[in-house]
Chain A
């Protein structure tokens, strides 16, 4: 059977979190009563003209630099013409042949293997409004209403090279890109709310082929899971088409998440002719070098740099560091917690273990996590100091999830302090030896298992609070 190589390129739209829209001063705030964040400009009233929000340009430069792009000092806007009721002017102001950024890259790491994914371009454009249909779609509805609150909200579109060869590579690329957009503080990256959107261009070719196969563009990928599933489905679909002697057609398909399928939207023949031409209402963007250099100088620490720092400064393993930095909020939480913690790896263990498990379970992000970094640090310290066994630490953690109290206070409240008092432990040891003469005989006969049993009995008596190390040591001494 022929082996196929998968070729994937991603087009990612990121909504920029500027205060005002790209070409007018309306608020970009999400939600709001329909058509309240609007003005003649974003409503496309006759005679209204766009004027460029400089913050949009600054954000685009920032992302461009973070993605290792060339920033083009001369770039310009174009009109992308198509009719749709959510588009108030029936053209979108976008950038066509002279985008602001070109030739960048992201390095991804899968199972220890580094790979560089090229970025073709980044361009600035405006979002459209939102249609609400009385029925399922525009063609099956009696009426549709339009909310232009989103119309004119700035977007950047980041187009990758077709450098990815698997769904996992695509996922890693998107995760890295998302982290960079978070670190540069330009986008809130909420895929469900649509502030980060992804389209995938997918094709397959027989192993050894020099030319890419015909690609399908998959839209409506609203989560990492959807991206991976859609790619896996689409690759199989294309294989099947080819195996059956057919040809993959160039088309736009949409991901149907509920049914786990991609469905054809329109073929190449039905594709829009956007009739791009230079937007005459805006002058070309002429960036001065000083602006670009200022943005470069002000660039925040990026995920790769942060990962290196966590490894060097705190001795974290690469795996730990890479997971912590993948989310800006997680990395910030770590940095905050580690300030007060005696054991950085301990903090990392908590974050990657119980904390992540809890967040996943609750379906929330770390920014919504109730336990403060200082309290998590205290918990780590209590374990390090031997005040809490790891088992009891979990118990305290469970309490902290209910209410973000200081672990020290909780330990007291719950009476969970580890008993390290020699007299008290000796009392338990003597009691247990008296109650289990056979085990003592077994121990003396060289059966090591007996000691485990006796320790267990003592821990049980102490309700888990006895310092296990001391119990073991004192038990052995007593029975010698």
Chain B
């Protein structure tokens, strides 16, 4: 087995047993990146020099017999909307193509404290707006399972990097499915924690009330390990929750006996690819064999989730992205003759089409005269969606759905924005309700991975981790590696 095919917990054992040094491991990862990156385009920026310096430090500590956290010396990738001190953070936008942050995001501080290695910054849809990683200013990312297909998004770079062996673990961010859906399209594990579990400080905001950082990994154990590091109250994020963080690895037990798994009928109806549905049904059967109890549930407001999301998220985004005006940092048009012109031209040229579209949408729905009809109404529906889940969780402990109604689709750009928006129907409600959700591999359709989503109650990551771990240990899907087939015709 190649080093890049191993998990963080496996590699940690090798590091502490001195079978391997962090410098060797880090070099192996960069060698793999050199090998496949031209086809995959998972990264926007690499930081080899600092990564190797950090690896050498970890090796010295191991040599000195220091006890180190699991992630110490293990190379990972960071989605390029997470602020890294001194390392370019672009949000895959022309607007920030030369932006070097002056501070570390809270999660980065925590990961640094764990002596982990940052290989570089991963590609994404511009400002996390998209679900295909095709709107990046730095070019699309390609799916390592079939290079002609999208990797999903917006954390497509983070997921593709895992699938292609270009990172051991990565961080993504999830506003409407941006961790879970690309994890699903790339055969990875991706978890969006409960809203408020992880500090958003330093995650460049798309939609503040929905954004949440989380890991993308090769297996459930690694997801729990990364969660252990990044979760917890942060004084710099007023929305981060002041609750105790459990040791998530303790939840990794093979036991779903008596676990009530709810299947929302709205997620299995029209729009779902029958082949995907068949794979999910197989997974449901597996759970039954493992002793879980399957119950049918209803989430009646699911059909409104996407439209509601496309009001709330752009509304927040229109304000969040207002700061990119060319005044303090980022792209500035130098030909403008006045301050207002400079702002207008910098924004027109600095943002791509999808970002501009969403800013206009958001500005519109917040305008006086339209606010009540759109934004206010959307906030009311959001409450109804949250209540749907509260009621459903009276009957079950976790909810099982397909992560996406389809598998990764061709990168040819034949889908229009609205069709792509509608595919997020399975992941968006989870953000609207602030719940934790995990996607794990559960099958293949025409050689492309299928992901299953497990949704938990507020702050109950442990139950979905246990359910996911139990399924994973009973199956082999997570052990299959992406073939890097197809062509990258870029």
Contacts and interface: CB of A to CB of B under 8 A. Distances in A.
Contact of B323 (A50, A90, A138): A90
Contact of B325 (A47, A85, A273, A281): A85
Interface string A425-448: 000000000000000000000000
Contacts of B366: 81, 275-277
B471 interface: no
A138 B323 CA distance: 19
B200 A46 contact: no
A275 B329 contact: no
Nearest to B239: A283
B452 interface: no
B62 interface: no
A45 B208 contact: no
A46 B89 contact: yes
A275 B339 contact: no
A467 interface: no
B339 A46 contact: no
Interface stretch (B50-58, B101-109, B390-398): B101-109
A273 B368 contact: yes
Contact of B238 (A44, A49, A88, A90): A49
B203 interface: yes
Nearest to B127: A46
A131 to B, nearest CB: 9
B103 A40 contact: yes
Interface stretch (B10-18, B34-42, B65-73, B314-322): B314-322
Contact of A88 (B208, B239, B315, B328): B328
Contact of A44 (B200, B236, B328): B328
A47 B238 contact: no
Q: Is chain B's binding surface mostly helix, strand, loop or mixed?
A: loop
A281 B238 contact: yes
Contacts of A49: 200-201, 205, 236-238
B434 to A, nearest CB: 12
Nearest to B342: A85
Interface in B166-206: 200-205
Nearest to A273: B368
Contacts, number: 109
Nearest to A50: B238
A282 interface: yes
B278 to A, nearest CB: 39
A88 B323 contact: yes
Contacts of A273: 367-368
A43 interface: yes
Interface in A268-291: 273, 275-277, 280-283
A321 to B, nearest CB: 46
Interface string A56-93: 00000000000000000000000101010100111100
A43 B327 CA distance: 11
A44 B323 contact: yes
A52 interface: yes
B202 A52 contact: no
A146 interface: yes
B238 A46 contact: no
Contacts of A90: 319, 322-323, 325
Contact of A81 (B237, B319, B343): B319
Given A83-B343, A90-B325, A282 B319 contact: no
Interface residues of B, number: 46
A45 B105 CA distance: 11
Contacts of B235: 51
Contacts of A51: 235-238
A264 interface: no
A210 interface: no
A46 B91 contact: yes
Nearest to B201: A49
Interface string B343-372: 100000000000000000001001110010
Interface string B76-105: 000001110000010100001001011101
Contacts of A139: 338-339
Interface in B419-454: none
A144 B207 CA distance: 32
Contacts of A79: 319
A275 B368 contact: yes
B205 A47 contact: yes
Interface string B199-229: 0111111011100000000000000000000
Given A45-B329, A49-B200, A277-B366, A85 B339 contact: yes
Contact of B201 (A48, A52, A83, A282): A48
B477 interface: no
Nearest to B237: A49
Interface in A27-55: 40-41, 43-52
A390 B315 CA distance: 73
Contacts of A280: 207-209, 239, 316
B375 interface: yes
Contacts of A47: 81-83, 101, 105, 200-205
B322 A46 contact: no
Interface string A319-339: 000000000000000000000
A281 B205 CA distance: 10
A81 B368 contact: no
B238 A275 contact: no
Nearest to A140: B338
Interface in B369-383: 371, 375
Contacts of A275: 318-319, 363, 366-368, 371
Contact of B327 (A81, A85, A91): A85
A281 B343 contact: no
A43 B237 CA distance: 16
A46 B208 contact: no
A280 B200 CA distance: 12
B283 to A, nearest CB: 35
Interface string A88-100: 1111000000000
A146 B327 contact: yes
Contacts of A81: 318-319, 322, 366
A46 B204 CA distance: 5
B339 A144 contact: yes
A275 B320 CA distance: 13
Contacts of B207: 280
Contacts of B237: 49, 51, 281
B83 A46 contact: yes
- Which are the 5 A-B pairs with shortest beta-carbon distances? A90-B322, A275-B366, A280-B208, A280-B209, A47-B202
Interface of B: 81-83, 89, 91, 96, 99, 101-103, 105, 200-205, 207-209, 235-239, 315-316, 318-319, 322-325, 327-329, 338-340, 343, 363, 366-368, 371, 375
Given A46-B324, A91-B319, A282-B239, 11 more contacts: A46-B99, A47-B105, A47-B201, A49-B236, A49-B237, A49-B238, A51-B238, A52-B238, A81-B322, A281-B208, A281-B237
30 contacts: A41-B236, A46-B91, A46-B101, A47-B82, A47-B101, A47-B204, A47-B205, A49-B236, A49-B237, A51-B235, A52-B238, A79-B319, A81-B318, A85-B339, A89-B319, A89-B322, A90-B319, A138-B338, A138-B339, A139-B339, A144-B339, A273-B367, A275-B368, A277-B315, A277-B375, A280-B209, A281-B205, A281-B237, A281-B239, A283-B238
